[in-house]
Chain A
Amino acid sequence: MEDVQRGNQRVLVVDSGDLFFKFGADSDGEKAAMKGKIIGRAYRQMGAAAVNVGCLDLLHGLDFLRQESAQGLPLLSANLLNPATKAPIFPPYLIKDVGGVRIAFIGVLPPESGPEISPAIRAANEGKILIRDPIEAAREAMQKLQGKADLIVLLSDLGQYKDQMLAKAVPGIHFILGGHEGRFTRKATQSGMTYIFQSSFKGMYVGQLRLTLENPSKPFRDAGEVQHLQERIDGLDFHIRSLEAGKKRQTGKEAVNFDRTIQEITRQKNALQEELKRAKEAGNQGNRFLFTLEPLENSLPENEEVKNRISRAGIDMD
């Protein structure tokens, strides 16, 4: 791993939170802490660039996270504060210089996580934490980053809806790599100039965000747009063919209704074809990104060393 990373400096590993723990009957105790430590160790070994604190990461108390941070895991959070000093407990942001491009990662978590989880988080961290409004915290971090970063990436555990609200309230964020619900994102959600993604859950997929930068101060374009548009056009084509086949079995008024539907879908298809033409003309120019989800389950062979390590930890079937 070290050799690979030395050979290719332009790869960053990041996590948006809820990395260590889950909420539920089997989430307590030594076994969960052991599993959390193994995960922390794996991310340290991978040389993770930034790991956001998610709400569930607080379920075993702040001391666990402090230990992980002390051992070198780059935890960050802009809105997890010390209630006495009102200062962030972990760095609010981290800046990485990648091939001459300064990328800032900011972390945020939700102030409320629901009627069962919030009390559990409070009980595990009595008097030790204060969670600030994430929009205010992100705005302050953005102000501090002015002139220090070319690219802003928010690592968020807020969930997609709140990510969209935050992107509207705090312009200037290029990408939000989100989480909380663990959504499977095939296509970015766009809010203003900000693109928002999630990379599924339970380690089933890893999100790959490939950035090609020409001039970091200019907006990004989704290089996957051509493929997305073509897929939508193909879908509409299939729908039109199905309706035409159905129409042949109809007579009178019903056949007219089929015609109207076919006309409407054809109109939508033509509009998409115009969009596709524009997307193709844009070609490989300017700042662009491609986001894909890589499935884990089929990619990983059994590994004796990992198997033995898990067996020794007693979490084989967890």
Chain B
Amino acid sequence: MKTRISEGPRIFFLLAALLICNVFLPPAPIARAGETEILILHTNNVTGYLFACPT
């Protein structure tokens, strides 16, 4: 039987994979000399989520 991995560890391994990919793959958009490249990996509502607040 296939075991489901909960959100936290699942994200952990994905982000790890993305970090590794970021080392070896060329980033987009392409940076030129004098430019700085930064990658921000973002998550939200990993466990809970809501409809828009009424206020």
A residues whose Cβ falls under 8 Å from a Cβ of B: 1, 4-5, 7-8, 10-23, 27, 35-36, 38-43, 45-46, 54-56, 59, 98-101, 103, 110-115, 117, 153, 157-162, 177-182, 197-203, 206-214, 223, 284, 288-290, 294, 296, 299-300, 302-303, 306-307, 309-311, 315-318
B residues whose Cβ falls under 8 Å from a Cβ of A: 2-20, 22-23, 27-32, 34-55
Q: State the CA gap A212–B35 with chains docked (Å).
A: 6
Q: Nearest chain B CB to A206's CB is how many angstroms away?
A: 6
| Identity of the chain B residue whose Cβ is nearest the Cβ of A158 in the assembled complex | B53
**A199 and B10 contacting across the interface, CB-CB below 8 Å:** no
Q: State the CA gap A112–B53 with chains docked (Å).
A: 7
**A284 and B7 contacting across the interface, CB-CB below 8 Å:** no
**B43 and A199 contacting across the interface, CB-CB below 8 Å:** yes
- Known contacts A35-B6, A42-B8, A303-B5; 13 additional CB pairs below 8 A are A11-B41, A18-B44, A38-B8, A46-B15, A159-B52, A177-B44, A181-B45, A199-B43, A200-B44, A206-B41, A213-B38, A316-B3, A316-B4
Q: Nearest chain B CB to A158's CB is how many angstroms away?
A: 7
Q: State the CA gap A213–B15 with chains docked (Å).
A: 23
Q: Nearest chain A CB to B35's CB is how many angstroms away?
A: 5
Tally A-B pairs: CB < 8 A.
Answer: 256
Q: State the CA gap A177–B45 with chains docked (Å).
A: 12
Q: Nearest chain B CB to A293's CB is how many angstroms away?
A: 9
**B16 and A318 contacting across the interface, CB-CB below 8 Å:** no
Q: Hey, which chain B residues are within 8 Å of A10, CB to CB?
A: 36-39
**A16 and B44 contacting across the interface, CB-CB below 8 Å:** yes
Q: State the CA gap A213–B29 with chains docked (Å).
A: 10
Q: Hey, which chain B residues are within 8 Å of A110, CB to CB?
A: 53, 55
Q: Nearest chain A CB to B49's CB is how many angstroms away?
A: 4
Known: A8-B23, A114-B54, A284-B29. Contact between A213 and B42, CB under 8 A? Answer: no
Q: Nearest chain A CB to B50's CB is how many angstroms away?
A: 6
Select one of B13, B19, B39, B50 contacting A300, CB under 8 A. Answer: B13
**B53 and A159 contacting across the interface, CB-CB below 8 Å:** yes
Select one of B5, B11, B19, B36 contacting A11, CB under 8 A. Answer: B19
**B29 and A11 contacting across the interface, CB-CB below 8 Å:** no
Q: State the CA gap A300–B50 with chains docked (Å).
A: 26
Q: Nearest chain A CB to B7's CB is how many angstroms away?
A: 3
Known: A12-B38, A99-B38. Contact between A199 and B48, CB under 8 A? Answer: no
Q: Nearest chain B CB to A58's CB is how many angstroms away?
A: 11
Known: A35-B6, A206-B15. Contact between A223 and B29, CB under 8 A? Answer: yes
Q: State the CA gap A258–B34 with chains docked (Å).
A: 53
Q: Hey, which chain A residues are within 8 Å of B19, CB to CB?
A: 1, 4-5, 8, 11
**B40 and A14 contacting across the interface, CB-CB below 8 Å:** yes
| Identity of the chain B residue whose Cβ is nearest the Cβ of A1 in the assembled complex | B16
**A113 and B50 contacting across the interface, CB-CB below 8 Å:** yes
Q: State the CA gap A71–B11 with chains docked (Å).
A: 20
**A117 and B52 contacting across the interface, CB-CB below 8 Å:** no
Select one of B2, B10, B18, B50 contacting A294, CB under 8 A. Answer: B18
Q: Hey, which chain A residues are within 8 Å of B8, CB to CB?
A: 35, 38-43, 203
Q: State the CA gap A207–B42 with chains docked (Å).
A: 5
**B14 and A296 contacting across the interface, CB-CB below 8 Å:** yes
| Identity of the chain A residue whose Cβ is nearest the Cβ of B4 in the assembled complex | A317
